[in-house]
Homo-oligomer: A and B are copies of this chain.
Amino acid sequence: MAAPLPNTQQAMRRRNLSLVLHAVAAHGPLSRASVAARVGLTRAAVSTLVDELIRDGLLVELGPSRPGTVGRPGSALQLNERGPAGIGAEIGVDHLAVCAVDLGGRVRARTEVASANRDRTVGPALARLAELVRQVAAEAVREGLRPAGLAVAVPGLVARDSSLVVRAPNLGWEGVDVGPALRAALPGLPLTVDNEANLGALAELWRGGHDPAPRDFVHVSAEIGIGAAVVLDGRLLRGTHGFAGELGHVPVRPEGPACACGGRGCLEQYAGEEAVLRASGLSPEQAAAQHPGPGGRIALLAERAADGDRRVRRALDGAGEALGIALAGAVNLLDPRTVVLGGALTPLAPWLLPALERELALRVADPARSGQGAVTVSRLGSDGPLLGAAHSVVQAVLDDPAGLREAAAVTGSGA
């Protein structure tokens, strides 16, 4: 049990800096006075906090805002669009992607390349990724941004508070620590590594476009396996070892087909990409031939389903049913506000949802949740994890703006 932060005046100041920054981030351009009203401090206190944030390049003053109401108009404050940037990266089965996001959440640079990472040696893949990160970071610098950190999304289990990829079946990685190679290739750039579904959930939380943003939800994501992330009270649930969210191995039919995990009848056996393809009578090779490139198999399924292919429709209906059963358990256990379908599931949602919602409605005991609006589909689609990664860096800056200055002092200010 680490000391729960030494409640000192400095810590208070840091929290208040973050509070002001978050207020501006969440509620558009704001005057000092309205920030003060929002966070519960006085105008004088907010003034000094804002001064500090402006000096550190996190806020900018837009000049006097247009009048409209009685009284002296305030001077609008906005997040600096030429300040720190979060770099997000994604290692997919068949692609690599990197993007840079500014404090305001806008994507300011982006690259994506096809790259068959499955069963490939790790070294070259990471070298390639570092190369892309350098490109994107350079472009961000040209736009006046300072890269403040890198977060990498991986489709697999990542040990908590580490860069160790314990298992990523889709990549064929097992016990790979991606930290050393990336840190060596990208000196001075703080690194975090996280599960793809987790970062997708964070993207949903911050930029899902829901209003108000749901602070308690289960985010289901899928590439080949099925991952989920649980957000409760606005915080991501990571679990003791960082492995929370393994929805793919929740038992759906305990006597069902054997699963690679050692169990029987796991969700993955009914709603995993491979299982759905098999039930549809399609082979992976066929899919690769007809829809090459990232997301080809999913695209094929969506196309066939849209064309009215009965076998595919039936397969997706079965997958939706299985998802509904597994999620019914999760909903009964966690009482979230909604279930969000994201990642690769987005394009298939129209054919998954009916059965999914039917099962959920049938099996959820909670009387208050009767039906309405229980399941939503992400608007971010397959971009979720990448955006979430970049945003997680931005969020870290918003959560502790003073930490950034300290880091800069250590590394010699970067630029």
A245 at the interface (CB under 8 A from B): yes
A245 to B4, CA, bound (A): 28
A246 to B255, CA, bound (A): 23
Q: Which residue of B lies closest to A329 (CB)?
A: B250
Among the listed B41, B333, B362, B363, which residue makes an inter-chain contact with A333, where contact means beta carbons less than 8 Å apart?
B333
Q: A244 and B333 in contact (CB under 8 A), knowing A9-B9, A262-B363, A367-B167?
A: yes
Interface residue ranges of A1-60 to B (CB < 8 Å): 1, 3-9, 12, 15-16, 19, 38-41
Among the listed B245, B334, B362, which residue makes an inter-chain contact with A237, where contact means beta carbons less than 8 Å apart?
B334
Among the listed B5, B246, B255, which residue makes an inter-chain contact with A332, where contact means beta carbons less than 8 Å apart?
B246
Residue contact A328 to B253, C-beta cutoff 8 Å:
no
* Mask: chain A, 302-339; 1 = CB below 8 Å from B; 0 = not: 00000000000000000000000110111011111100
| A246 surroundings in chain B (CB, below 8 A) | 332-333, 335, 365-366
Q: Which residue of B lies closest to A366 (CB)?
A: B243
Residue contact B262 to A368, C-beta cutoff 8 Å:
no
A326 to B363, CA, bound (A): 14
A292 at the interface (CB under 8 A from B): no
Interface residue ranges of A359-401 to B (CB < 8 Å): 359, 362-369
Residue contact B328 to A6, C-beta cutoff 8 Å:
no
Q: A212 and B1 in contact (CB under 8 A), knowing A328-B250, A333-B246, A363-B262?
A: yes
Residue contact A243 to B368, C-beta cutoff 8 Å:
yes
Q: Which residue of B lies closest to A261 (CB)?
A: B365
| A264 surroundings in chain B (CB, below 8 A) | 362-363
A364 to B38, CA, bound (A): 46
- Give the one of A9, A216, A238, A329 with max B CB within 10 A: A329
Q: Which residue of B lies closest to A17 (CB)?
A: B7
A255 to B321, CA, bound (A): 12
A359 to B242, CA, bound (A): 22
Among the listed B38, B240, B249, which residue makes an inter-chain contact with A363, where contact means beta carbons less than 8 Å apart?
B249
Q: A241 and B368 in contact (CB under 8 A), knowing A41-B6, A363-B249?
A: yes
Residue contact A336 to B41, C-beta cutoff 8 Å:
no
Residue contact B3 to A241, C-beta cutoff 8 Å:
no
A228 at the interface (CB under 8 A from B): yes
Interface residue ranges of A219-259 to B (CB < 8 Å): 228, 230, 232, 237-255
| A241 surroundings in chain B (CB, below 8 A) | 335, 366, 368-369
A232 to B19, CA, bound (A): 25
Question: 17 other contacts beyond A7-B41, A241-B369, A329-B330, with CB at 8 A cut-off?
Answer: A1-B212, A6-B39, A7-B12, A8-B41, A9-B9, A9-B12, A12-B12, A167-B367, A245-B333, A246-B335, A246-B366, A247-B333, A249-B332, A249-B363, A262-B362, A266-B363, A333-B333
| Residues on A facing B (Cβ under 8 Å) | 1, 3-9, 12, 15-16, 19, 38-41, 157, 166-167, 212, 216, 228, 230, 232, 237-255, 261-264, 266, 325-326, 328-330, 332-337, 359, 362-369
Report the 6 A-B pairs with minimum CB-CB distance, sorted nearest first.
A239-B335, A6-B40, A263-B363, A250-B329, A249-B365, A244-B335
